Amino acid sequence: MSKKGGNEMDKFLWGVATAAHQVEGGNFNNDWWLWEQQGGIKTGDSSAVACDHYHRYKEDFELIKFLNNNAYRFSVEWSRIEKEEGVFDEDAIDHYVDMLETLREMRIEPVLTLHHFTIPIWLYNKGGFLNEKFPEYFERFVSKVVPYFKPYVRYWITINEPVVIGTMGYIMGWWPPGHKNMKEAFKAVNHLIKAHARAYRLIKEANPDNKVSIAHNMTLIDPFRDWNPLDVALANRLNYIYNYAILDSLSTGRIVKPFGNYEHVEGLLDSMDFIGINYYTRVFARFKLKGWFDLAVKGETNDFGQEIYPEGILRVLLSVKDRYGKDVMITEHGTADKADKWRPRVIQDTINLLREARKKGVNVIGYMHWSLMDNFEWAEGYSMRFGLFEVDFDTQERKPRRSAYIYREIASEGL
C-alpha cells in the first residue's frame, strides 16, 4: 500500500512516461531529425509537430492528474539546450525549469531523464556515441543543466536504454547512424556506461540524497526449444549480454564483456541507487546451422508484433532482486495497441504481478506506464499507439482510452 505522510520519497510513484523527441515537436537539431530527412522513418511520418507537448505541457499535466498519478517521467532534449557545441540556450533550460516548477506545484514528482536516444547534430557529425570524447561531452551537458534542475528533481535517469542504442543503431541498422557492426555497438555502449558514471557523480555531488539510475530495457530471452541444449546455451548467453552485463558493470565498477574488458571506471562502482527497468516482452532464441541464430516470437502479439507476456515482469523482478538487491522502479511498461484490446488486461495483470513481487521481497518503488499518450514511435512513426490517451495528430485532441480509466482506478487504490 502507498504510504501516507512521512517522507515524500517513501510514497509509491504512480506515473506515466514520455520522451522529448517523441512528444515535443520542433526538434530540428538532433540526429533523429536528420534520420527522418534521410528516409529512416518506415511510415514517412514527420516528428515536426509530434504531440506539440513543448507548448501543451500544462494541458498534458492535467491528464496526469486525471489518471490520479503522482509522478511523471520525461526527458530534456539535449539538442535544444546545446544546439551548437559549447553554446547553451538559456531559454531552453528555462522552459524545462518551468515544466519542473509546474509539476511541483501540481504535486507531481518529476522523474527526469537526461538522455533519451537523441544527440545534437554537431555531436552526430563528430561520430556520435563512437567518439572517444562522448562521455566528456555528456558530462559537460549534465554539469550545465543539473544546477538549474536540482531544486526540483529527486529521481534522475541519466541514460535511457544504452543497450538498445547499441542494438538498433549499430547492429540492426534501423536507427541512426544505420550501421551493422557489432564491435561498434559494444563500443557505443562502453561510452554510454562511462558517460553514466560521470553524470552519476555530478548529480550526487549536487545532492547526495538524489536517487539516480539508468532506464534499462530488459527483454526476456527464452530457448525456442527448451529440449535443445544449443538453444538453451544461446538463450543464456544472450540473456546475460542484453539484460545483465550493463547492470553488472554499474554494480561492480568494471565494464564487463562484451562492452569492455573489465576495465575499472572511476565513479562507476555501485552507480545505481535503484534499478530502472523498461519491460515490454520476451523473445525466443533459436540456434541454426553454421553458428547462425534468430529470435522468434510465440503466442499472442500486439500491434508491434511483440508477445503479450506480462508474466515476464515477475521473472525479471525476482532475478534482479536475487542478483543486485536494489530497489526497482518500472520506468517503462506498456503495449502497442491502437484498439485498446489488450492494454486493459496487460495493465491489470502487471500491477497484480507487482503486488506479488513486493510480497516476495522486491521493493518496487514506482511504476511509469508507457505512454501518457500516442506519440512519434521512432522508426515506426505514428503507426504504433502506446498511449493511455489517443491522439488525433491533425487536431491534437487527446481522448482517454478505456485503459486510462482502469489505470486511474488502480492508481487511486494504491499497491
Question: What pLDDT does residue 8 have?
Answer: 63
- Give 3's pLDDT tier (boundaries 50, 70, 90): very low
The predicted structure's pLDDT at residue 316: 98
What's the pLDDT at 7? 58
Is the CB of residue 188 less than 8 Å from the CB of residue 260?
no
Whether residue 62 is predicted with pLDDT greater than 70 in this model: the reply is: yes
Confidence label for 290 from pLDDT (cuts 50, 70 and 90)? confident
Question: Residue 3 falls within a domain, yes or no?
Answer: no
Nine cell digits for residue 157: 535517469
- How many CB atoms are closer than 10 A to CB 118? 25
Mean pLDDT of 361-369: 98
User: Domain with 66 in it: what CATH number?
Assistant: 3.20.20.80
Percentage of the chain with pLDDT > 70? 98
Q: Is the pLDDT of residue 6 over 60?
A: no
pLDDT exceeds cutoff 90 at 213: yes
Q: Does residue 2 fall inside a structural domain?
A: no
Quick check: is 229 in a domain? yes
What is the number of helices (H) and of strands (E) in the chain? 14, 13
Query: 334 in a domain, yes or no?
Result: yes
Please answer whether residues 48 and 54 qualify as being in contact, where contact means their C-beta atoms are separated by less than 8 angstroms. Answer: no
Q: Are 344 and 392 in contact (CB under 8 A)?
A: no
Task: Assess if residue 365 is contained within a domain.
Answer: yes
Identify whether 184 is part of a domain: yes
397 pLDDT band, cuts 50/70/90, is very high
Catalytic residues, by residue number, are 161, 332
pLDDT-derived band at 10, boundaries 50, 70, 90: confident
The reply to whether 1 falls in a domain is: no
- Residue range 63-85: mean pLDDT, rounded: 98
Tell me the mean pLDDT in the region 226-243: 97
The string of pLDDT tens digits covering residues 274-289 is 999 999 999 999 999 8
CB 270 within 8 A of CB 253: yes
Q: What is the pLDDT of residues 118-129, one digit of tens each?
A: 999 999 999 999
Cβ neighbours of 311 (radius 10 Å): 12
DSSP states along 192-205: HHHHHHHHHHHHHH
Distance of CA 269 to the CA centre of its chain: 22
pLDDT in tens, 159-208: 999 999 999 999 999 999 999 999 999 999 999 999 999 999 999 999 99
Q: Residue 215 is part of which domain span?
A: 8-413
* 149/248 Cα distance (integer angstroms): 29
Answer whether residue 89 is part of any domain.
yes
Into how many domains does the chain fold? 1
What's the pLDDT at 20? 99
Burial per residue of 312-345, b for 16 or more beta-carbon CB atoms within 10 angstroms, e otherwise: bbbbbbeebbeebebbbbbbbbbbbbbebebbbe
Please state, rounded to an integer, the average pLDDT across all residues of the chain.
Answer: 97
